[in-house]
Structure formats: structure tokens, C-alpha cells
């Protein structure tokens, strides 16, 4: 069982109905932050919106353009990791899409589990957020940012304070943004994610671990509260 009446009972529609405004999205099952980065910049150049609301996805998801020129999500069948070392577990597995060859799947699986670390994924996602933030501000498009879930983020944040190196023929230390820098630039990172909020409020979840109607109402109420608090409803007058 999932939300029964779509789009009527999903949070985006609830928000738009409250404000009396049309809405559209570019969401996708298994979507990733690099997809949000790509589609938001593309969409807002072609069809600027009066207000952009983004729920950032899990940091360990990513996409690729396949040989048929179709964007595909590298969907995780399961993602396992050590909460202390952040090493990706051997049991982690990406979906073998029917249009993939075995060679292609092995490449995606290896890239996802042996190359892309959680540290890399976190930094990449944060810089997608930063670039979208400043892109929207440059185009004078107001926005609200939220996170979908804190689960894979909270355990990685302290790694932002680690020393990192640049490597070529040798290694050298580099200055870089630290945790507090990111939190100052992206204040939504300090706020409770939607999934975690719904779990705390004990709203019903479906078999795929997605919030049902009560959860969408809860998310919509939070978004509407932020819109009114920040007086963003004025952009529609």
C-alpha cells in the first residue's frame, strides 16, 4: 500500500492547492542529487518557476547516461556500510537493469562500491546543493531546501573536518571547507529530514517504507509554514 490517490494526496499538490498555484516537478523513482542538480539548472533556464522547492535525495545515489541516450538511476538493491569506518559493505548491490550488459553492470557496481566512497558522495552532494543555491539566487528564483533522510548523512558529517590531500605526481595538503562552513551555507542541513520527521511523528508508512497520506500532509504543513514564515507566498501576488 502506498499513497492511493496521486497526485491529489502528495505533498507537492497539497502545497500548491493551499497557495492556489499550478505546480510541476521533474522527480523520478530512485532519483539522485546529481539528477536534481542537472534537471534543476536545465529546467530553470528553460522554464523559470516562481518558487523552487527541493527535497534532496540520498547522498549515495547517482545517475548515468546509457548507450541509448537515456538517463538511468544507478538504483541500489541494498546499500550496506560500516557506521564507524564508512566502508561500503561487500553485500551492497546496484540493480542489474534489463537493458544492461553484464560488463556494464560490473562497471557500475565496481564504480559504486569500490570507487565512490561515502566521503566522496557527501562532498559531491553538498556541492550540488551549493551550485543550485547560487544558480537560483543568480536568477532571482526563491527556493526552499530540505533533506529526504538523515540516515546516511548524519554519520558522515564529521568527515568534513578531516584533512584532505590533492594528488598528482605527489601529494600535498589543501585548504577546504569544513563542516561549519557547509552548515552556514546550507542551513537546511541542520534541520530534521522529512523521513526522520515522519518516523518521529509515527505516521503510517507503506511496505516500501514511504510515508502515506498522513506523512505527506505533515510534510506539506512544514513546507507551507516555511513559505509563510519567509513570506514567500508574496511571490505569487
pLDDT in tens, 45-92: 999 999 999 999 999 999 999 999 999 999 999 999 999 999 999 999
DSSP 169: S
pLDDT in tens, 127-150: 999 999 999 999 999 999 999 999
**Between the CA atoms of 116, 119, 121 and 122, what dihedral angle is there, to the nearest 10 degrees?**
180
pLDDT at 207: 93
Please report the DSSP string for 113-153 in residue order.
III--HHHHHHHHHHHHHHHHHHHHHTT--EEEEES-STTT
Distance between start and end Cα atoms, the chain:
39
* Confidence band for 30, pLDDT divided at 50, 70 and 90: confident
CA dihedral for 203, 205, 210, 216, sign (positive or negative): negative
Residue of 191, 73, 56 whose CA lies nearest to 127: 56
Predicted structure pTM score? 0.96
* Confidence band for 1, pLDDT divided at 50, 70 and 90: low
Question: What is the average pLDDT score of the chain?
Answer: 97
Instruction: Say if CB 148 and CB 193 are below 8 A apart.
Output: yes
Please report the DSSP string for 7-24 in residue order.
TTTSHHHHHHHHHT----
**pLDDT for 196 beyond 80:** yes
Distances (CA, A) of 141 to 50, 94, 132, 148, 211: 6, 36, 11, 22, 29
pLDDT at 29: 84
* Confidence band for 28, pLDDT divided at 50, 70 and 90: confident
**pLDDT for 166 beyond 90:** yes
Average pLDDT over every residue of 116-133: 99
Q: Where are the domains of the chain?
A: 11-58+126-236, 63-115
Which are the contacts of 37, defined by CB distance < 8 A and separation ≥ 6? Answer: 128, 131, 132
Residue of 183, 219, 213 whose CA lies nearest to 55: 219
Amino acid at each position: 500500500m502506498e499513497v492511493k490517490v496521486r497526485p491529489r494526496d502528495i505533498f507537492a499538490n497539497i502545497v500548491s492547492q493551499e497557495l492556489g498555484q499550478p505546480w510541476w516537478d521533474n522527480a523520478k523513482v530512485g532519483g539522485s542529487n546529481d539528477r536534481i542538480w542537472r534537471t534543476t539548472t536545465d529546467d530553470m533556464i528553460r522554464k523559470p518557476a516562481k518558487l523552487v522547492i527541493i527535497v534532496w535525495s540520498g547522498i549515495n545515489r547517482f545517475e548515468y547516461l546509457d548507450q541509448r541516450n537515456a538517463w538511468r538511476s544507478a538504483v541500489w538493491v541494498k546499500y550496506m556500510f560500516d557506521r564507524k569506518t564508512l566502508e561500503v559493505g561487500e553485500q551492497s548491490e546496484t540493480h542489474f537493469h534489463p537493458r544492461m550488459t553484464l560488463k556494464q553492470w560490473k562497471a557500475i557496481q565496481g564504480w559504486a562500491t569500490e570507487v565512490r566512497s561515502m566521503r566522496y558522495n557527501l562532498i559531491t552532494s553538498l556541492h550540488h546543493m551549493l551550485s543550485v543555491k547560487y544558480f537560483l539566487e543568480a536568477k532571482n528564483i526563491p527556493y526552499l531546501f530540505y533533506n529526504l533522510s538523515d540516515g546516511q548523512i548524519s554519520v558522515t558529517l564529521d568527515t568534513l573536518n578531516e584533512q584532505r590531500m590533492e594528488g598528482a605526481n605527489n601529494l600535498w595538503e589543501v585548504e577546504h571547507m569544513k563542516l561549519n562552513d557547509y552548515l552556514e551555507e546550507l542551513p537546511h542541513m541542520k534541520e530534521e529530514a522529512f523521513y526522520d520527521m515522519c518516523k518521529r511523528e509515527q505516521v503510517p508508512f507503506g511496505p516500501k517504507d514511504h510515508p502515506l497520506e498522513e506523512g505527506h500532509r505533515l510534510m506539506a504543513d512544514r513546507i507551507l509554514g516555511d513559505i509563510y514564515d519567509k513570506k514567500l507566498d508574496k511571490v505569487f501576488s
